[in-house]
Amino acid sequence: MQAEASPEHQWLMQLVGEWEYEHEAPCGPEGEMGKSTGREVYRALGDLWVVGELTGEIPGGGSMTCITTLGYDSARGRFVGNWVGSPMTHMFVYDGERDESGNILTLNCTGPSFEDVTKMAEYQDIIEMRGRDERLFRSRYKDDAGSWQQFMEGVFRRVK
């Protein structure tokens, strides 16, 4: 059975290409912010999936590699995927949707809490397309009080 690409699948294809990024994220015990830079390459896996590989710096020192897989589950009407990173043992499994503007994809997932690593917390990775050659990426978590706390923001610029 061969699925047909929907407008949602086509939306994901705009990620395909080579990107350079600069992120700002906490890097120390007191939550001080640090910058990191790197490169991300997305490729298409047929007409229905995209796979990204990010290589770059960890704020505060070190390097990392991360793999993202994104698609759209037409039966559920939801964006799906996962994210793994070389510095972590947890696989984040995505379930998401685009906003009414069509430019922002919010991917929900769960993972170890920043506040207590023995507990799980809710996270969101948010991809905002700002035209063909620029996108904003934000990550946030829901704290114990139920409020969303942004902990990372980065700008990606297309190089190819």
Per the rule left: phi > 0, alpha: psi between -120 and 50, beta: everything else, 157 is beta
Helical spans, DSSP H, in 6-140: 7-12
H helix and E strand count, the chain? 1, 10
User: Which among 56, 62, 53 has a CA at the least distance from the CA of 16?
Assistant: 53
Domain ranges of the chain: 7-158
Tokens of 145: 């009080």
List the chain residues with pLDDT less than 70: 26-29, 31, 60
Q: At 120, is the secondary structure helix, strand, or coil?
A: strand
CATH of domain 7-158: 2.40.128.20
pLDDT of residue 58: 81
3-state SS of 102-119?
Answer: CCEEEEEEEEECCCCCCC
pLDDT of residue 28: 63
